[in-house]
A and B are shown apart, each in its own frame.
Chain A
Amino acid sequence: MTFIKPKFRHPDLPKNKLGYTISYYEGALSTLCAGCGHDSISAAIIQSAFEMNIEPHKLAKLSGIGCSSKTPTYFLGNSHGFNSVHGRMPSVATGANMANKELIYLGVSGDGDTASIGMGQFVHVIRRNLKMIYIVMNNGCYGLTKGQDSATADNGSISKAGIVNQFQAIDLCGLAIELGATFVAQSFSGDKKQLIPLIKAAMAHNGFAFINVISPCVTFNNNKGSTKSYDFVRDHLEATGTFDFVPEMEEITTNYESGEKHAIKLHDGSLLAFNKLDSDWDPLDRFSAMKAVHHAREKNEIITGLLYLNQGAMDLHELVNTCDRPLNTLKKEDLCPGNGALASINAGLR
């Protein structure tokens, strides 16, 4: 078995603005099953971070427990990382973000880690609009414990053992929109063309950015009858649009062949350009986004792309009005300015 990825890379690899090639953003060799959708998502994250010119030490990756939560080992090997307790990644992310708001927080979770054990944490982190990217690698089963149905397994989906799921699925995107998440997208691990611009847009978003990525479990949930298999997902994909992330100051050169051309200016000045495929859908209108999600569910389709975006909401730091400097840089003198300061305050209250 090959335990080490060869060090050689393509000799003509391009460098980003920081002078790094993409290999600087790689992690260890994956030990997930061969063909796991999660590896594709890892690759999309690597590509996005490279293209966004992110300094690796300016990003923290956080995860809970599960196959999905192992993946931070396999990307961004030069960034900070915290593999936390099952379902508790949002708390750790909240704490870290409160302490140092200067980092980019990339949370990775799975359907079990989010929709079952971590559900309480998930809904509250949305409520608080914590500035982070929250990616769910959603395969509809518990891969690490041999493929039992998870809470996101669709009603009627057949497991590898041949058992039909009787329970309703939790639709994470619908839930996130309902709870007021400010950036909600859905994608497929096998469609990097769509996934990468979405991750990049999520990185540019000022607030809680949620991406639910359907990621087939090649070992336990890629059978006929499963609604999360490569074949089923490919056959039932219905994209809201095609997307292109255009960084600030860069000319828009993408050619749109058909449909309407749209562009949303993101918080940092960059643009998310898209070509609408669904005429009823407006990503800035929460009601329309909800409708699109319900509509897709009714038609047995998997809606992908950006679903909803709200740029007006305040993030957690703005909501609780923290100071401009990151809290972890505040020294004792800043927090406890001494007798003189107290005396002058007291003098003002006399």
Chain B
Amino acid sequence: MSEAALIGLFVATVQFGTLVFLAALGELISERAGVLNLGVEGMMAMGAVSGFMVGLETGSPWAAFFAAAAVGALVGGFHALVSVVLGADQVVSGLALTIGGLGLAAYVGRNVVGERPETQFTDLGIAGLADIRWFGEIFFDQPPVVYLTVGLGLAVWFVLARTRLGLALRAVGESAPTTDAVGHSVMALRSGAVMAGGAFAGAAGAFLSLYMAPGWTEGMVAGRGWIAVALVIFGAWRPGRLALGALLFGFTLALQPRLQSFDIELLGVEVSRISPALLGILPFVLTVVVLVIISWRYRHRPSPAPAALGLPYRREER
């Protein structure tokens, strides 16, 4: 296998990692506030199509990226209205959002299928660093969204760990009545978190349609939204572990289309003969295993899962 192919694999790992990390970061914010959002797949599709269309219209990838985030936030607001404000079941609302979101994205984008954007994100060759052998291309010659996402990851970590807002968000995900009793608004915190989560998912969708696979086709999100949901659990609801998990999941995603070209043996198995489909189940199987391990290890103490995840709260029922 050539050096270029290997570098290509790692470049793609970082990009796929960025894609699922960005979406999962949004899901993490929402889940830490106690709201399960199974609508990520639909939100990403909405982000992908709206980002792509705004990109076509304006020619500015950044305008497209932020428009997609805004659309994601709007869709998130819908989930918040139904499941937080009105207190309907989060599972049902999220699933319906995925079905409806995928449908709406397909409908809205039906006329732009096959079109090519005029401009898209270009790789930022960071002066001086991009030329470093291997590392330069993998880490310092990526599109700006990659670096923005790293920054967002740090920001989410900082807000959750080091600010009053983050403390309130973590508290509302553990116990809404307690958080309400000290004067924080449960609705505002949770709705805000779900909308922020939607914005992240929408932005991730735009990264997909503006850079990774420029264009729009129905079904282009292809389960990456569900991988983001899995990643949050795999990362035990912590931004740092989420980043590591994103690289691992990103690696499996990057490897899938390349498997056949790898002419090496691993543990006595010819890598090129592994089915890409079987590799694709790895993130999901790992997530189930991690979930079981978490429940086992934390059986005598609070699990890292937000205790109030999935539980609607109405002040009246305090």
Partners in one complex: no
Q: Which residues of A contact B (CB under 8 A)?
A: none
